[in-house]
Structure 1
Amino acid sequence: MPEISVFLVDDHALVRQGLRAFLQTQQDITVIGEADNGKQAVDEMRARVTANAIPDVVLMDLAMPELDGVSAIGILHREHPALKIIALSSFSETARVHAALQAGAAGYLLKNSDPGEVSVAIRSAQRDQVYLDPGVARVLARSMRAGQAAALSAREREVLVLVARGNSNQEIADSLYISERTARTHVSHIISKLGLSSRIQAALWAIREGIASVS
């Protein structure tokens, strides 16, 4: 199996030492260098271009002096599009995760992740796959669901509650004093906004998200 070359970027020497020690136990992964801030990482990658020694994967801390991780990821992604960068952070806030991924990160790991997840993330990045820490994935999923619910108008939420109760389009129309055609249109828009394929899925979604309750 071809070796995967890895470069470590973190402003804490103990974190870098711990990562290096673990990765040295992986037969297919080799650590070829490290930096203690984003600026140093950017400068190092530029120097490595001349020597044709760009690593396959970079593990990038997000909170660092001189140049933060998100900014460094953005620069590296623009200058070295083939470089795979995995964000490392102690935080799983949605905004931070989105910022790293939008900057070009190929994955997001929490620093309290199991060591095995680090090697899985590195191998996934090498295969052009995005790897998210399970906790981060849950945060993003909740954020997406909240965004979907927010996209519904007040009337659409009313209709969704009635859909979840098993009401037909005509029954929804009678309850809300609208035409059956309008009720049908609302249901169609709800299904589309939620990214679903049927009114049954919409009903189950509403119950799961607490928008409607099972009577």
Structure 2
Amino acid sequence: MQKLLIVDSHCLFADGVRFLIEFSTDHTVVGVLHTGREVIPFLLQHDVDVLLLDIDLPDMSGLELTRTIRALYPATNVLALTVLTNPQSVNLTIEAGAMGYCPKQASRNELFAAIRAVGAGHLYLPPSLVQQLRKPAIEKVTQDLTDRETEVIQLIVNGYTTKTIADKLFLSTRTVETHRKNIYRKLSIHTNIELARYAQANKIM
């Protein structure tokens, strides 16, 4: 059973999401907050598996909050739940450390799928955004990736830090960074969101 925290400045929306989750799933909503500044004090007192976060908060940057949570509470996975669906917002949010991105326009089944994926530690992008963001070149498996580089891709898109990847693969952090640079060069990409699209298209998540 996953423990969820909802952070959204719109009270009616947050309460509606809470009702949907508690009525339709076996997850537990341990809290509903309406400002970003309440989040860290709350996490000090409660265990949270998935944080449903509106990244467009009025009192602070949702992206900066995501980075802080990623650094201080790596066991809490952030799922962005927002009206923003432009590629730049998606890219910045995933780069900040969020494990998933779900538009507020999504259906409840899509929201539940996002919660399940993020709760399991997997990157989640809804099909509508994947289609919007996808580039044809990303879909072609024509690159000469090594088995080690494929391992590194899997770990990167599943949210592991460079240090954790190094520990898991018994490598130095410098070697992991070299692998990352080589992967980016071979795939002609520049960001982790592009890498996630590649991994999804080629089923190496």
What TM-score do you get using the length of structure 2 for normalisation? 0.64
Partner of residue 132 from structure 1, selected from 119, 125, 137: 125
Structure 1 88/145 Cα, relative in aligned 2: closer, same or farther at 3 Å? farther
Cα shift readout 1:113-139 (whole Å, capped 9, x = no counterpart): 001111111111121111112222122
Counterpart code for 1:39: R
Paired residue for 1:113? 106
Give the distance between the partners of 1:106 and 1:135, measured in 2 at CA: 17
Alignment CA distance shift 1:32-1:141 (3 Å) = same
Q: Which residue of 2 aligns with 1:6?
A: 4
- CA offset at residue 25 of structure 1? 1.7
Give the 3 Å change call, closer, same or farther, for CA 193–59 of structure 1 in structure 2. closer
1:41 to 39, 64, 67: 39
Q: For this pair of structures, how many residues does the alignment match?
A: 143
Provide Cα deviations, 1:44-85, integer angstroms capped at 9, x if missing partner: 21x32xxxx221100000111221211111111111011111
Q: Percent identity between the aligned chains?
A: 25
Mapped partners of 2:77, 2:70: distance in 1 = 8
1:145, CA displacement in angstroms?
5.0
Partner residue in 2 for 1:122: 115
C-alpha distance in structure 2 between counterparts of 1:126 and 1:117, whole Å: 14
Is residue 92–residue 139 contact of structure 1 (8 Å, CA) maintained in 2? no
Which shows bigger deviation, 54-63 or 133-142?
133-142
Partner of 1:164: none
The 5 Å alignment of 1:56-205 reads: 56-142=49-135, 145=137
Residue of structure 2 equivalent to 1:32: 30
Q: Report the residue type matching 2:129 in the other structure.
A: V
Higher Rg? 1
Bigger mean CA offset, 4-13 vs 126-135:
126-135
Task: Write the letter of the residue equivalent to 1:136.
Answer: L
Offset from partner CA, 1:2-27 (integer Å, 9 cap, x none): x1110000000011011011001234
Amino acid at match of 1:89: T
What stretches of structure 1 of length at least 5 have no aligned partner? 147-191, 196-215
Give the structure-1-normalised TM-score. Answer: 0.61
Structure showing greater relative contact order (alpha-carbon pairs closer than 8 Å, 6 or more residues apart): 2
Letter aligned with residue 96 of structure 1: S
- Give the gaps of 5 or more residues in structure 2: 139-185, 190-205
Structure 1 residues 78, 139: CA separation in 2 closer, same or farther (over 3 Å shift)?
same
